[in-house]
Amino acid sequence: MAFDAEAIREQFPILKRQVNGKPLVYLDSAASAQKPRAVIEAMTHAMEHSYSNVHRGLHTLANETTEAFEGARRKVAAFIGAEPNEVVFTKGGTEAINLVAAGLGASLGEGDEILLSEMEHHANIVPWHFLRERRGVVLKFTPVTDDGQLDLEAFQSLLGPRTRVVALSHMSNVLGTINPVMDLTRMAHEAGALVLLDGCQAIAHKPVDVKALDVDFYVFSGHKLYGPTGIGALYGKGERLAALPPYQGGGEMIGAVSLETITYADPPHRFEAGTPPILEAIGFGAAIDWLSGLDRIAIARHEHELYQHVRERLAGANWLRVLGEAPDKGAILSFTVDGAHAHDVAQILDRYGVAVRAGTHCAEPLMKRFGVTSSARASFALYNTHDEADAFVDALTKTQAFFA
């Protein structure tokens, strides 16, 4: 049975609006996905009917909200094949990486090595750079091939006896490249290194089983999974989380506090200081419930078909450069138009109601690798249609005419 994107679209109120007198064609889901009515209603219901702070009260509203909050944790855990005590709520993928980097950094010293790649988002570079500045660790970067793949031979050669951490994107937010993370994790573990995967893009497009991947840490955000902003998750193997020191101090993350001593809670609460993003967690859980009710294989096929349709229609466009041509890549099209700045391309496309991203996509080293200062990016999601794919190509062709 064909995937019914039109039926899905009915669940997204924002997709009915117009932009500049044109129907909205939203192709910026890699930055942040739109929200289905199920998420909107879950968060509204919590605010209207059963809201309080969590874990600390004994009254009815506190108990109901705590159950909803911890229920969301159980949903996240089940979604990735983990146990609830292995899931830490964070404000997003960025905070999750910072948490791990800060925790591991406490035991790293001068000369210890962290292996990254040229395709990483800034969120998976800067926290490790802090350790280079403050602890003297060495950062090494796996190069990217001309078609946008990770250079596996170079990766293997960069692993060494001082490699302590390997931190990589599961799927590139610019190139759409889906890295062979099971092989990369195996090689890293054989070298004695811990592995963190940035799954913010991948988990929106494919099922993820952290146990099968055997990663030590996996991070992702809620807003790319059709949930709210301000919420994300860190998965960590039980023993890995237990070995990390607290990231922030405050309420909830403690065992006991006196004027002389402090003891800390067990994971995951050890890493959740202060009042957490309660409503956002409830919305996150609702997004996972909603997404879990769909055929994710059919979704992936639909998104790939949209991408392939656009590529076929643009096959003869000698004014277009596409960044990233890796086999079996995700449905992300990053591109440049001859003679045009990406910002101008995005603004003109907006006149036709087409929303794309433009800039460096928080991946300046990757832009430098491909010899560009910026690019435009169209990213496809389950609610996009073939008509929208055509509308994008038609608008892009008209946009190019401005610069011809």
C-alpha span between 26 and 196 (Å, rounded)? 31
Q: Which helix (H) or strand (E) holds 115?
A: strand 113-117
For residue 115, what are the β-bridge partners? 140, 166
The two three-digit tokens of residue 356, written as one number? 């794309």
Q: Is 200 a catalytic residue?
A: no
Which of 384, 383, 365 has the alpha carbon at shortest distance from 172? 365
Residues 6+ apart with CB under 8 A from 194: 104, 164, 165, 166, 188, 216, 217, 240
C-alpha span between 87 and 272 (Å, rounded)? 11
Which of 105, 101, 106, 70 has the alpha carbon at shortest distance from 88? 70
The residue assigned the tokens 């055509």 is 390
Q: Let me know: does 51 contact 64? Beta carbons within 8 Å.
A: no
Instruction: Tell me how far the alpha carbon of residue 273 is from its chain's centroid.
Output: 23
| Catalytic pick among 31, 102, 362, 372 | 362
The two three-digit tokens of residue 134, written as one number? 């403050």
Instruction: Tell me how far the alpha carbon of residue 263 is from its chain's centroid.
Output: 33
State residue 103 phi and psi, 5-degree precision: -70, -45
Instruction: Enumerate long-range contacts of 240-246, CB under 8 Å, 24 or more apart.
Output: 240/194, 240/216, 241/86, 241/88, 241/267, 241/268, 241/270, 241/271, 242/266, 242/267, 244/99, 244/100, 244/103, 244/104, 244/270, 244/271, 245/103, 245/106, 246/270, 246/271, 246/273
Residues 6+ apart with CB under 8 A from 91: 230, 231, 232, 277
Rama region for 349: left / alpha / beta (φ>0; ψ in -120 to 50; rest): alpha
State the catalytic residues: 362
